[in-house]
Amino acid sequence: MATTPDQQKSKRYVGTLVGQSTSQEFRLAVAHETIREQDIIAVDAELRRPEDNTAPEKIRVWAKVQRIERLNPLFPAEAGHELAATHTDPFETVLSLSREMVTAVCQVLGAEPLAGSAKGKLDHVRYPPQPASSAYRPDSKDIARVVLGELQQKEKRGLDIATLSNRPEVDVKVDGHAIVTRHLAILAMTGAGKSWAARRIIEQLAAKNYPIVIFDPHGDYTGLANVPSLKERVRRYYAQFPVFEQAPETVVAVVEGLGWNLANTHRSMFDDFFQGANAFISGAPEELKKRTNWLSNYLGNEKIAYYGLKPNLFFLADFVQAVVQAGGREDGDALNQIVEWSGREQLRIKRQVAGWLEGLPNNLRVAAKRLRQMEEISKRVAQASEPLPLDRTQLVRYGGISVVALAGYTGDFQATIYSLVADEIFTARVSDNLRLPVLFLLEEAHNFAPARAEMAAEQRSITTTRQIAQEGRKFGVGLILISQRPSRLDETTLSQCNSYIIMRMVNPADQNYVRRVIETLGEDEARILPDLDVGEAILSGQLINFPVLVRMKPPESKGEREERDAFESLEEIQASLTNAARR
């Protein structure tokens, strides 16, 4: 004999409303161990409209368990202290230990009519549910419908990223449109699963062909290229620091940061050297070949002619050396040639000045070598030999994922490369020179948009990120910010995010910051952040109908830094070394 709906609800009974009830919150006397914090429950109620004398409308009130309180009124604290002092087991006494009162504080999420087609959209509750009403656990299908909300009418926008933490049979989809247009922040401490969550979202967006550009400081996203369905769509680039796209004073700071401080004469002449070198290398192909051969012959360095001139610090060092050599020898023909090709009369230097400048080429080469070391690390982590294209808009492709590897570079270099690339793409979107929309993902976002800039490169990066955060929606440029230290993030940028995935967070400063900046995060959700398991997250904001506790589904891809057992890894390395020695 089939069970009736009322009989089914009775089996799923979890408790009875007690005490004061409001349209935002009620308290529930809970049946023993029937619910957990963050569970979604329901209460059937009746609503009579003041202007309507007909029978009351039957509605279902949805609520979320915020916290559970457990109390035994027959076991007072005084008795507990007495037992502790005498080392007495409570079960050896006559005290009642079974008369517990378990009460749940529940947040009202909204209501829907019980009759008719249920679309998942919840109406505001304007009148509190009646005390003594029974609460029950809805079935999985109903919970999935309500969590999905209006997104079930727009299934193409749904991203399948998680399951409910307390009900793993319930899949949780989020609104991809909200992510790509109104920005997403993924915030958590180290090891909580930020990159895991991000890769799941990227894979889901890629299935919808959305163009994505990832700025990857550590190699967390190189594994996307190994996913069979993404293999032909992921391109990995190593970053080259674009020396001649910087202001001269920026390049001075770079050289001093990688080498040593410049002498006064070096500083006073640097702008002329930099602008002259830039003009020297800007000739047409045939003209540039002629200049390359001249420089190679004049310096007696065959490698210059063999490899050609590249717009980097090595070339700048060679150019400065040619000027110093010509000035030191008082070689008028060479100086005339340099001045003609550089357009800088100031480079027609005397022997004394050339003597003062002798150390500059070596300083530039020291900086160039260290910069190349960073580039080689970036190339190795990227697992690719493809440099960033000069036309940055080529990173944006329909269905394509571009991973810009920034590993190896220091923070200021990473910020500079990011701001140059992002700014060029954003400008192309604003001017309509780039037709496709794009989503930027910033791993370690607090390094690209820090709360306080300490270097010029960081200030430029903050300015770029703020502009995208504030205006990107109008021009089809979205942001995903990922950070393990949200309190170090620029508040203006974070506040522009309308969707959040918040995972385990222990640092009090980060907790307080998140609680203050994210309006959609409730006090009770913030309270449980330190207790979340790895992979658990609170979804909040426009990507979801209401805040829920979920467990992120695993991505197909693996990151470069997926944590392995250190001792197993050690033994594998030693075994490979031993086998290699035997060959």
Question: Which pLDDT tens digit goes with each residue over 81-98?
Answer: 777 878 887 777 756 666
pLDDT, mean of residues 140-148: 89
Q: Looking at the domain that runs over 160-238+388-567, which CATH code has it been given?
A: 3.40.50.300
* Other CB atoms within 10 Å distance of the CB of residue 499: 22
In total, the chain counts a number of residues equal to 583
Task: List Cβ neighbours of 58 (8 Å cut-off, separation of 6 or more).
Answer: 44, 45, 46, 47, 113, 114, 115
pTM: 0.83
Question: Which pLDDT tens digit goes with each residue over 432-452?
Answer: 999 999 999 999 999 999 998
For residue 474, give the 3-state DSSP assignment. Answer: helix
The confidence score (pLDDT) of residue 1 equals 47
Question: How many Å separate Cα 390 from the centre of its chain?
Answer: 25
Report the run of H or E that residue 49 belongs to, with start and end.
none
CA distance 432 to 474: 12
Question: Which pLDDT tens digit goes with each residue over 511-544?
Answer: 888 888 887 787 778 888 999 999 999 999 999 9
Region(s) of the chain under CATH 3.40.50.300: 160-238+388-567
CA distance 303 to 317: 14
> How many angstroms separate the Cα of 316 from the Cα of each of 156, 309, 319, 356, 426?
52, 10, 5, 17, 30
525 φ/ψ sector (left φ>0, alpha ψ -120 to 50, else beta): alpha
The confidence score (pLDDT) of residue 512 equals 86
Report the run of H or E that residue 158 belongs to, with start and end.
strand 158-164
CA distance 146 to 210: 27
The confidence score (pLDDT) of residue 254 equals 83
> How many angstroms separate the Cα of 576 from the Cα of each of 380, 561, 563, 566?
21, 20, 20, 16
Question: Which pLDDT tens digit goes with each residue over 201-259?
Answer: 999 999 999 999 999 998 888 888 888 888 889 999 988 888 888 888 888 878 887 87
Q: Band of the pLDDT at 573, cuts 50, 70, 90?
A: confident
The confidence score (pLDDT) of residue 50 equals 64
Task: Say if strands 158-164 and 171-175 run parallel, antiparallel, or are unpaired.
Answer: antiparallel
The confidence score (pLDDT) of residue 257 equals 75
Question: Which pLDDT tens digit goes with each residue over 267-277?
Answer: 999 999 999 99
For residue 526, give the 3-state DSSP assignment. Answer: helix
Closest CA to 314 of 276, 367, 269, 386: 367
Question: Which pLDDT tens digit goes with each residue over 403-422?
Answer: 999 988 888 888 888 998 99
Contact of 278 with 248, CB cutoff 8 Å: no
The confidence score (pLDDT) of residue 154 equals 79
The yes-or-no verdict on residue 282 having pLDDT over 50 is: yes
% of the chain residues with pLDDT over 70: 93
